[in-house]
Structure 1
Amino acid sequence: VVLFISVNQILLFLLVLTICVILYNKVHKVPSTLNNETIDLENPEEMEEEIPVVICAAAGRMGATVAAISSIYSNTDANVLFYIVGLKNTIPHIRKWIENSKLKEIKYKTVEFNPMILKGKIRPDASRPELLQPLNFVRYYLPLLIHKYEKVIYLDDDVIVQGDIQELYNTKLAPGHAAAFSDDCDLPSTHEMVRSVGMQNTYMGYLDYRKQTIRDLGISPSTCSFNPGVIVANMTEWKHQRITKQLEKWMQRNVEENLYSSTLGGGVATSPMLIVFHGKYSTINPLWHVRHLGWSPDARYSEHFLQEAKLLHWNGRYKPWDYPSVHNDLWENWFIPDPSGKFKMIRPNS
């Protein structure tokens, strides 16, 4: 009888021990796949979607890149991965700037852009040589620079994001559309600015309609243009439609026939996109691309309107890190000084 009781006690002890071990493992379970990755233990199947944002870092303009990244990062909880594209000699500078500032917490990759890919595709233009900088054409080559993503955001460096970038990423693209842009006629609040500084917002302002090749496109010169400084792109459609090849074709034709130039609308990178995407793009919410802040050194928007804007774009000659410029306080809010001291804002008393 004593032996029977002892066996029962041992079995009971083993049963309790087994239950404790099972409960401990359930409470403290760690996925074997964890390694160096961060996984949400509560909902491992609901991994937060990564938002790839492409932005260029050009020599002499890196303060713009840093301010844009700072504004995006500060205004969202989304899982943003920045693809910072530069030339070989600029990448070490931007990396050092990020690693030695509060931006060291961001997720980013640097991508080197080889300007040789543009050889024979750009016509020399003495009137605005800055528009021929190789990084102006990065947006043509998104699928070559970024892999594995279905959807990508491209931003010019002279922007500040005041809204949550997740909203822009959620822009719906119609079936068959490779990209979404902002129409230049979309926001009544900007119409007065456009008229006051003599800007163009139609195809006539970008393409040379005296050329038969342009007339043969059958696009009315009064068609509203769009601005490719903010792009939400569908990579699957972009590759399927061979968008990059189409853009390169028009670049080469321009070299041969001079079909567009920066003396017109002010964008040699814009004109091929206007041709290739004509009638085949979705639209971005107008407040997600409030532009023309850099077209005049004294034409200003109302403060109320600018507070509502989700994204501000200083397209034009008058940049907010330079002088003269307007609304530069909105830009300076997000600027982070260069630890190396190479990049400095230009101000009247500096």
Structure 2
Amino acid sequence: MKQLLDADSREYYFKGSEDLEIYPQLEKVVFLDDDVVVQKDLTSLFSLDLHGNVNGAVETCLEAFHRYYKYLNFSNTIISSKFDPQACGWAFGMNVFDLIGWRKANVTARYHFWQGQNADQTLWKMGILPAGLLTFCGLTEPLDLKWHVLGLGYDLNIDNRLIETAAVIHFNGNMKPWLKLAIGRYKPLWERYVNQSHPYLQDCVTS
């Protein structure tokens, strides 16, 4: 969901595929970002009742900076006339999507609409989440926090009990566990799953 900088990039990534449908027979998918560790079985996500919503996600509004006004330009009437600045944001990185509901709500078209509205970057600046917040507004089911604990790439003070019970832990932030600037107490949570003897890892610097 990246906001693409130039017209050529948008043309390449979007124009030719707007009407295509990937995996038309699937009913649900679980999305996992590339900086997460799955600690527990996620099977039950596929039978989770989303109560008619399309996106199942853990809400992040316990911290004020995760509300809509922090992501979007509410001085623009296109935003302020349609959205609540105090609306709760949600975590992108471990999500369950109801594809039947997605098709009914024409979510893909909604996403492309908001990307088009922000062609001049006046609704939001760069980032992966704002377009998603707009697209899935009114279509998001809050999930229990245990499904997705995030912040391991920037927050030094996450409760160990939250980490231990989480199904997915997310190293979102700049201090990725494979970098030298990783947060020390979280780094083993990633490294225990990494096969350091793998030839690909032998050819790159991961610490």
TM-score of the superposition, structure 1-length normalised?
0.51
| 1:183–1:150 CA distance, 2 compared to 1 (3 A) | same
Q: Which portions of structure 1, spanning 4 or more consecutive aligned residues, are displaced by more than 4 angstroms?
A: none
Bigger RCO (CA 8 Å, 6+ sep): 2
Q: Deviations over 1:242-272 (max 9, x none)?
A: 111111111121113521114xxxxx22111
| 1:280–1:330 CA distance, 2 compared to 1 (3 A) | same
Residue 9 of structure 2 corresponds to: none
Deviation, structure 1 residue 282: 1.2
How much is the aligned-residue C-alpha RMSD, in angstroms?
2.6
Residue 315 of structure 1 corresponds to: 172
Residue 7 of structure 1 corresponds to: none
Q: How much identity, in percent, do the aligned residues show?
A: 24
Q: Deviations over 1:57-82 (max 9, x none)?
A: xxxxxxxxxxxxxxxxxxxxxxxxxx
2:75 to 203, 210, 224: 210
Residue 105 of structure 2 corresponds to: 241
Q: Deviations over 1:256-303 (max 9, x none)?
A: 3521114xxxxx22111111211222122211110011124xx13233
- Matched residues, number: 194
Higher helix share goes to which structure?
A: 1
* Structure-2 separation of matches of 1:313 and 1:286: 12
Pair member with larger Rg: 1
1:144 to 1, 15, 21: 21
Conservation of the 8 A alpha-carbon contact between 1:151 and 1:234:
yes
Q: Which runs of 5+ in 1 are unaligned?
A: 1-117, 125-133, 186-190, 263-267
**Amino acid in the other structure paired with 1:156:** D
**Amino acid in the other structure paired with 1:287:** K
* Structure-2 separation of matches of 1:344 and 1:257: 36
* Structure-2 separation of matches of 1:168 and 1:333: 25
* Structure-1 separation of matches of 2:165 and 2:49: 21
Residue 205 of structure 2 corresponds to: 344
TM-score of the superposition, structure 2-length normalised?
0.83
Q: Deviations over 1:170-228 (max 9, x none)?
A: 322112x222111113xxxxx5xx5xxxx7210011101121211121x2211111112
1:293 to 142, 149, 152: 152
